[in-house]
Structure 1
Amino acid sequence: MVPTENDSKLTRELGLAAVFTTAAGTMIGAGIFVLPGPAAAEAGPSSALAFVFAGIIALVATMCAVELATAMPRAGGPYFFVSRAMGPLVGTIIGLGAWLALILKGSFALVGLGWYITYFSSVSVLAVAAVGGIFLIIVNWLGAEQSGRLQTFVVLGLLMILAVFVGGGVPVIDTSNFDPLLEHGWNGVITATGLVFISYLGVVKATAVAGEVEDPGTTFPRALIAAVVFVTLLYAGIMLIITGVMSLPEIEASTAPVADAGELFLGTVGGAIIALAGVFATVSTANAATLSSSRFPFAMSQDGLMTPKLRKSSTRFGTPTRSIWLTGLIMIGLALLFDAEGLAKLGGTFGILVFALLNVTVVLLRGAQPEWYDPDFRTPFSPWLPLLGATAALLLIPFMGLLSQVSAIVLIVLGIAWYYVQTQIGETVQPDHTIGDQLQRVQYRQAIDDKAERLGTEVDTHSKIVVEVLQERPNRDLLAIVAAFARRYDATLDVVVISEVPAQLPLSEYDPRLDRAWVDTLERRLESTDCDVNFEHVLARDRTDALFDQIDDRTELVVIDWYAPIEKQYLRGSHVDKILHSDIPVQIAVLKHRGMAKLQDIVVATEEKPYDRTEVELADAIAASTNSSLTLMKVIPADASQEMITTAKEYLDNLQELVSSPTETEIVLGDDVRTALIERGDAADLLILGSSSHPVPGFFGPTTDIVAAETESSVLLAKDPETMIPWYRRIKRRLFD
């Protein structure tokens, strides 16, 4: 089911032009009117490159946002996308980050408004910022319709004025101003890229209309990609004109660089018109920031991540009153505390974190493949392009100053602390799943793909299974089980008895004879398996080394019969212990026989982790050979999220389709995993357990060791060579291979 707050359908009537203008309008604003001075101070004549690089990073994030929006078209915004994919903890971080990024963008625009007002009158910049902020709070409080009308009018006016500026400025560019181009080096360009990044933050807002777009799989991405490219070229062109008609000292000293540049080739009236456009642009940006940022605390409060007071709307105007006033007052306060450059860097830092998380969300969802995730558009070259975009964005932060770096860390710590405080208050937090659930799904998908690939691989007709038996202990069930394996792998059974010869006794003096009656019984039972069998008695100083000598590149499986209790004092340092901790690249199975009369009920049990390939293959082989019932059982915590339960069920259903034997699935919810496994094992004839999913100082893993020791049924413990591969490498393989 698609994770959406509202399942009602929207009318799809927006075309390419409508979406393009909407997206372009979210980006055209204060950035290009205010930032040329600070950008030129950092990058010099190459400052136009900063807008290009920031635009490229924004373009990748836009494609990821489009993919997420077409998968979740009934709601939009980075907070919703990320929280529904990664859970409320990460959602809290991105919600606070996106909120603060837009607040800072609004504060930055208010300071810019003061700068452009001073072009006409020598008033206080901070006074203008404060008055402008109060005005916009009231406008947004009165309703989004009034705010939207103001926004549309301003954007259209800006486009016309900027078109005149570019058309008049290109012919008068002095190319000598660009020599040398990299006057401040690449470090200056990268620093300026982080500085101007705030100009592109609004583009993600345009994804909110995904549910209203005709043919969203093509129209929506084309419109947004075209908008980002257009705005990037427009910004770079304007910056080229400014640096081409003004000297660097003049640009750095100007509080209205676009107007001052325009006055040089459009005259006094032209400069005044562009200054007026700067006023409109800064008002537009501040208004859009107030409108969109105030919705974040409103949405987070609906998910239980902020106080319920913020979710209340005005009965008269239908707007989130408290959220708007809280956001607006913080915006004004920040405008009074920081200068434009500081606000741009802080806002850009938080925006970078948001864009990076959007990119990572796409990678995670592609790897997890939840049933509801079916976007109409898919980001090309995934996962490499999204990860490259996220990495490029994050690499800007070290160039943005100590305050920005500390702020990024504080945001993450604050988000984590805020989340845990809210969960302790008692408010129901949404969604109920976590990023761990999605990572679990990635592991499940990898496990299913691995098993499907294994089943599709042709079996080596020359493969063999090495079976070690103990003298005078002919385990009939062991032979029946290994015969099932031999039939499954179409393999030869190499049955070996290893006699250890004490070091003080020469091998030539050791009597190698086995009990004849035992040998006759063993050979008779081997013949009854209808398998190709090789029997060998080996004399050796070291039993483990002798068994290793039996293993070669044809060996599919090593089976060991274990008679001692499954307890650490018996296992530690034993023959079995040495084999389990070796790096032999074959599957290992250890049978602990407890006198099963007849194989009828086989249970393969595990915790939250996926099954190893070995335990499923062996269980399927035994069930098929003995006509036993096969049950795939998984124990997950009683307080597991619905996402975790659904994921586990999907995994078992997919696994059920891959095995050849009739199979049932069983999910048990319980806090005591070991007790649940033991109780289910007691009711079965054979309990099959896999090893730990990562290397552990124990033997098969803490839970497996205890369950195998305490259950009353016979136990087959399976270990796959893949077990020694760390979990993060297996997830990496799922995401990238």
Structure 2
Amino acid sequence: MSNHPVLARRLNTFDAVVIGLGSMIGAGVFAAFTPAAQAAGSGLLIGLVAAAAVAYCNATASAQLAAEYPTSGGTYVYGRERLGPWPGFLAGWGFVIGKTASSAAMALTFAAYAAPPGWERPVAITAVILLAAVNYRGVTRTAALTRIIVVAVLAALAVVVAACWAPGSADPQNLFDGGLLAHGWYGVLQSAGLLFFAFAGYARIATMGEEVINPRKTIPRAIVIALGIAVVVYAVIAVSILSVLGPDDIAGNPAPLAAAVSAGWDWASPVVRVGAALASLGALLALIAGLGRTTLAMAREADLPRWLSAVHPRFKVPHRAEMVLAAVVCLIISVADLRGAIGFSSFGVLIYYLVANLAAYTQTARNRRYPKALQVAGAIACVALVATLPVESVVAGLVMFAAGILYRAVRLRSAAKGS
């Protein structure tokens, strides 16, 4: 890796935590509870605990690996170093393809809240272009904008909690309406799978390992802190809106936070809409940054075109990778509506963390920070959550990975003939 131009180390622990929070406290906190309640009812509270436990296992694996391999690329690099080129490629491919679709979905989610009817696609494309321009100017600009967005979103969520617990709004008996296991353990596991993806943003910290100051200490610390804050935020929001609406009303409402606020402080509904729009922007900003770094790492190893491995001489960012990815996201937005149909992205994320856990399991005692039992539990949980995904999501995921395997096999064969 030393023969490649490198990125500049400009992020401190606070910056890394903020980028992780921008990914985790994104649009998911405004949208994830509806499908989770549909799957599990009040059992989404158990699902939330399970999702947090799985996220912790995966986060510790990522933190342990990032301390040993403090470079761009995240699990793509870890998989290559610990397990071999093919596992690393599968992790990177799943991340890039899946999160490119997620970026389009986040842009469309932002537009759904911020754009007038009929203007959703142009507004979504404009948001992608503007945020790509921010990333192009350097990672410190990315961190600064993310900091503003996170503060604004947390303020909006504070209004939600205050409205829910205003006199006459909440009824704690709604928390367990119908019983925690009314939908069975399968429903609980499915809600855990849905809520897990809201926590998965800590991977963005690891993918930016080449830009963090003192990465061996900063990255593990930032990952655990960001995840801890996100879990607390999600738990408080879940208890608050369940106490106001109950599981049935959450399941039937695509905007449960806005509905919960309307029950007490109807005037505050616009605040929730603004918070949701900003949360979508924060998640999109972090996605673009993480995608650029993983694409950079894959291009360095020729798993993607080497042309994408360029680093801007002044801004020290993977500018070609980010420009190409932004163009692809804009193209997807112009031809598809992915807000409700990106199950293969979930499939890709779980494969990504499965590889991370397996890679961390192979680390030696010298580089081990956490017991192997956590990595075993994380790997088993990833497989279990894949099993709860809808069949169409699994099929789409398998097709996505089959295309990636074919692409790499053809490239390797062409390279072998050329030599």
TM-score, normalized by length of structure 1? Answer: 0.51
Task: Return the letter of the residue paired with 1:395.
Answer: A
Take 1:129 and 1:8, find their aligned partners in 2: how far apart are those partners? 31
Task: Return the letter of the residue paired with 1:166.
Answer: V
Task: Return the letter of the residue paired with 1:52.
Answer: V
Task: Return the letter of the residue paired with 1:159.
Answer: L
Moved segments of 4+, more than 6 Å: 3-13
CA separation of 1:211 and 1:315: change in aligned 2, threshold 3 A? closer
Task: Return the letter of the residue paired with 1:378.
Answer: R
Aligned partner of 1:32 in structure 2 is: 29
Does the Cα contact within 8 Å between 1:85 and 1:361 map onto a contact in 2? yes
Task: Return the letter of the residue paired with 2:370.
Answer: T
Task: Return the letter of the residue paired with 2:37.
Answer: A
Take 1:179 and 1:328, find their aligned partners in 2: how far apart are those partners? 44
Q: What aligned pairs does 1:508-657 form with structure 2 within 5 A after superposition?
A: none
Aligned partner of 2:204 in structure 1 is: 205
Q: Which moved more, 1:3-12 or 1:104-113?
A: 3-12
Does the Cα contact within 8 Å between 2:309 and 2:321 map onto a contact in 1? yes
Q: What aligned pairs does 1:67-78 form with structure 2 within 5 A after superposition?
A: 67-75=64-72, 77-78=74-75
Take 1:213 and 1:316, find their aligned partners in 2: how far apart are those partners? 18
Aligned partner of 1:420 in structure 2 is: 409
Q: 1:127 Cα shift?
A: 4.7
Does the Cα contact within 8 Å between 1:12 and 1:212 map onto a contact in 2? yes
Task: Return the letter of the residue paired with 1:402.
Answer: V
Take 2:214 and 2:135, find their aligned partners in 1: how far apart are those partners? 29
Take 1:302 and 1:394, find their aligned partners in 2: how far apart are those partners? 30
Aligned partner of 1:185 in structure 2 is: 184
Take 2:3 and 2:238, find their aligned partners in 1: how far apart are those partners? 42
- Identity value in percent: 23
Q: Deviations over 1:610-652 (max 9, x none)?
A: xxxxxxxxxxxxxxxxxxxxxxxxxxxxxxxxxxxxxxxxxxx
Does the Cα contact within 8 Å between 2:7 and 2:317 map onto a contact in 1? no
Task: Return the letter of the residue paired with 2:243.
Answer: G
Take 1:292 and 1:105, find their aligned partners in 2: how far apart are those partners? 12
Aligned partner of 1:705 in structure 2 is: none
Aligned partner of 1:260 in structure 2 is: 259
Take 1:198 and 1:280, find their aligned partners in 2: how far apart are those partners? 19
Q: What aligned pairs does 1:140-539 form with structure 2 within 5 A after superposition?
A: 140-170=135-165, 172-177=169-174, 178-180=176-178, 181-207=180-206, 208-209=208-209, 212=212, 216=216, 221-248=220-247, 250-268=249-267, 270-312=268-310, 319-335=317-333, 337-343=336-342, 345-366=343-364, 374-375=366-367, 378-380=369-371, 382=372, 384-426=373-415
Task: Return the letter of the residue paired with 1:302.
Answer: R
Does the Cα contact within 8 Å between 1:5 and 1:75 map onto a contact in 2? no
CA separation of 1:251 and 1:319: change in aligned 2, threshold 3 A? same
Secondary structure of the structure 1 residue equivalent to 2:369: coil
* Higher share of residues assigned strand: 1
Task: Return the letter of the residue paired with 1:358.
Answer: A
Q: 1:402 Cα shift?
A: 1.5
Q: 1:176 Cα shift?
A: 3.2
CA separation of 1:285 and 1:21: change in aligned 2, threshold 3 A? closer
Does the Cα contact within 8 Å between 1:195 and 1:341 map onto a contact in 2? no
Does the Cα contact within 8 Å between 1:111 and 1:129 map onto a contact in 2? yes
Q: Deviations over 1:74-93 (max 9, x none)?
A: 44511111112222222211
Take 1:75 and 1:308, find their aligned partners in 2: how far apart are those partners? 15
Task: Return the letter of the residue paired with 1:276.
Answer: V
Does the Cα contact within 8 Å between 1:299 and 1:311 map onto a contact in 2? yes
Take 1:101 and 1:162, find their aligned partners in 2: how far apart are those partners? 28
CA separation of 1:126 and 1:49: change in aligned 2, threshold 3 A? farther
Aligned partner of 1:113 in structure 2 is: 110
Aligned partner of 1:85 in structure 2 is: 82
CA separation of 1:109 and 1:331: change in aligned 2, threshold 3 A? same
Aligned partner of 2:43 in structure 1 is: 46
Does the Cα contact within 8 Å between 1:34 and 1:112 map onto a contact in 2? no
CA separation of 1:209 and 1:166: change in aligned 2, threshold 3 A? farther
Q: Deviations over 1:401-439 (max 9, x none)?
A: 1122123323443333222222223289xxxxxxxxxxx
Take 1:211 and 1:311, find their aligned partners in 2: how far apart are those partners? 15
Q: 1:99 Cα shift?
A: 1.0
CA separation of 1:314 and 1:23: change in aligned 2, threshold 3 A? closer
Task: Return the letter of the residue paired with 2:28.
Answer: G
Q: Which stretches in structure 2 are left out of the alignment for 5+ residues? A: none
The two structures, once aligned, show a CA RMSD in angstroms of 3.4
Q: 1:232 Cα shift?
A: 1.4
Matched, 1:133 2:122: no
CA separation of 1:247 and 1:9: change in aligned 2, threshold 3 A? closer
Does the Cα contact within 8 Å between 1:68 and 1:81 map onto a contact in 2? yes
CA separation of 1:296 and 1:223: change in aligned 2, threshold 3 A? closer
CA separation of 1:48 and 1:111: change in aligned 2, threshold 3 A? farther
Q: Which stretches in structure 1 are left out of the alignment for 5+ residues? A: 429-737
Task: Return the letter of the residue paired with 1:201.
Answer: A
CA separation of 1:316 and 1:388: change in aligned 2, threshold 3 A? closer
Does the Cα contact within 8 Å between 1:258 and 1:274 map onto a contact in 2? yes
Q: Deviations over 1:381-408 (max 9, x none)?
A: x1x3211111111111122111221233
Take 1:188 and 1:114, find their aligned partners in 2: how far apart are those partners? 31
Q: 1:352 Cα shift?
A: 0.8
Take 1:252 and 1:427, find their aligned partners in 2: how far apart are those partners? 54
Does the Cα contact within 8 Å between 1:196 and 1:348 map onto a contact in 2? no
Does the Cα contact within 8 Å between 2:108 and 2:124 map onto a contact in 1? yes
Take 2:255 and 2:182, find their aligned partners in 1: how far apart are those partners? 23
Q: Deviations over 1:663-717 (max 9, x none)?
A: xxxxxxxxxxxxxxxxxxxxxxxxxxxxxxxxxxxxxxxxxxxxxxxxxxxxxxx
Q: 1:55 Cα shift?
A: 1.9
TM-score, normalized by length of structure 2? Answer: 0.85
Q: 1:332 Cα shift?
A: 3.9
Take 1:346 and 1:176, find their aligned partners in 2: how far apart are those partners? 37
Aligned partner of 1:94 in structure 2 is: 91
Take 1:353 and 1:134, find their aligned partners in 2: how far apart are those partners? 29
Does the Cα contact within 8 Å between 1:194 and 1:349 map onto a contact in 2? no
Q: 1:356 Cα shift?
A: 1.0
Take 1:296 and 1:97, find their aligned partners in 2: how far apart are those partners? 11
* Higher share of residues assigned helix: 2
CA separation of 1:198 and 1:103: change in aligned 2, threshold 3 A? farther
Take 1:24 and 1:170, find their aligned partners in 2: how far apart are those partners? 25
